[in-house]
Structure 1
């Protein structure tokens, strides 16, 4: 009886001890993280994460994990509670202001135009072989320009523009089958740079005038704002055509060519010539046509007495930023106001 009583008493004590252990030290000990779930943050709680003071170590973060990254990237297999306020973090590290759109480089950078449309730039050319024209110097005239061909190579047109090239005549064609290989590029680039542009044709005396007119029209676009087309008539010592035509034949061929261009472009062509060719063929002729005169040693009034002119080519040895080597220099006969009026009247 006494032994059985002791057993009963021992059984009662063990039962009481077992109940106490289920809610004692074992309940206060941290639960080990589940091995079924992985994350850069071990044991990340499912409850909202309170803000963390900057500089304080994030508890239980791996050495590679950043506190902000851990907070921003939820575990894919754990359902998170409401997103905690980030006010303390924003106050400690202000978010940078958005970058202006202008600072983001486009795929093809657009360079600001260095010119103002319609503005006339003053002459800033130099000359490898300067001539003293006295009081009749072309420097006294306001609107200068250039004429170019393949021999000028690659041209920096915006820079040439600001050097004083307000207009450019660009070689397009020779005879009935030759196109200057730089014409298309120069034509486009000069227009983009804001120059008033026109095209010229070097006339061959052994080709028919009709063939040459058709060839020019085929290659020179008819565009608004273009200067009148130019027929360049002079002696060409390098041509295989050595024969000299009579004055009457020269005038006839020129007339056929110019009539066809005028019908197509709606502009009266300009005649460019040199002193010797003018003396033999053009003196007193084509009085109702505009002339562009080459005269690099004296004023046109001395070389072409009595002839009215629109453009004067005063140098074949010009120097300018934007062009390697030498370039022909020209000037318009008139003031800035007269230039604008002439362009408005004659441009296509």
Structure 2
């Protein structure tokens, strides 16, 4: 695949969200048995997660020691790994987790939990200092949500400030890692700050009680986190499970494009 085509494919697949997949030909049930067991299953109706063939997980130090070979054999297709918080916190399991995921051949990406008590540049500096380019096979992720339980930062800036700071942070990461960052968000944070914005950015949305089409109306998304109580072989306790919006072919095409981008070290231009 020519390098330019690879770059265009890597950006366009996620920017569009791959959410035009048709579902009419598939059967439904009230609470369908999902690909992975869930200790607290929800009824998503006809648009249940298993209509998407590519599943992945997100993890942090709280998931403990992981049997990565077992995880890979269970048909997990990707993993988002917590790396940093704010301007001075790193997840102590980050390096072990990303290197272990890489060793078993799982596509992986680091994510940063954004604090609104630190500037975008302070947090970008911290992320770049602690996350090597090799740790970001998939594009890096910025996790933006209101932190209701934080003991140190419950600041809620105006929506305009949120968007300015978020764009600055993402631009810094894109310039350094050569990949357009993915935005992870929750329903309330999206409603308060992001509706109708960043339409050219890939979104990873949390929606554990209803399909994103109901909770994020009008938002095109690339990844959907549908549960935090999933059961993944090789991981003890409840695990966050996600689906990719596109088909298996779209997933493989995107990975192939990223392989070329990673190998070439090419910066993906903003579009």
Contact 1:174–1:204 under 8 Å retained in 2: yes
Residue by residue, what CA displacement relative to the aligned partner does 1:204-251 show, whole Å, maximum 9, x if unpaired?
A: 000011010011111111129700000000000222222210011100
Contact 1:124–1:163 under 8 Å retained in 2: no
Match of 1:200 in 2: 111
Matches within 5 A, 1:92-131: 124-131=35-42
Quote the offset at 1:344 in angstroms: 2.8
Match of 1:256 in 2: 168
Contact 1:170–1:198 under 8 Å retained in 2: yes
Match of 2:6 in 1: none
Matches within 5 A, 1:28-177: 124-177=35-88
Contact 2:57–2:239 under 8 Å retained in 1: yes
Contact 1:144–1:167 under 8 Å retained in 2: yes
Distance 1:124 1:160 in 2: 13
Match of 1:179 in 2: 90
Quote the offset at 1:124 in angstroms: 4.3
Residue by residue, what CA displacement relative to the aligned partner does 1:40-88 show, whole Å, maximum 9, x if unpaired?
A: xxxxxxxxxxxxxxxxxxxxxxxxxxxxxxxxxxxxxxxxxxxxxxxxx
Which among 237, 251, 269 is matched to residue 339 of structure 1?
A: 251
CA RMSD of aligned residues (A): 1.4
Contact 1:196–1:225 under 8 Å retained in 2: no
Match of 1:273 in 2: 185
Which among 107, 118, 143 is matched to residue 232 of structure 1?
A: 143
Match of 1:311 in 2: 223
Match of 1:79 in 2: none
TM (norm. structure 2) is 0.81
Match of 1:45 in 2: none
Quote the offset at 1:165 in angstroms: 1.2
Q: Higher mean Cα deviation, 203-212 or 233-242?
A: 233-242
Give secondary structure in 1 for the equivalent of 2:176.
Answer: helix
Match of 1:217 in 2: 128
Quote the offset at 1:342 in angstroms: 2.0
* Structure ID, larger Rg: 1
Give secondary structure in 2 for the equivalent of 1:207.
Answer: coil
Stretches of structure 1 that go unaligned for 5 or more consecutive residues are 1-122
Residue by residue, what CA displacement relative to the aligned partner does 1:241-271 show, whole Å, maximum 9, x if unpaired?
A: 2221001110011011000000000100000
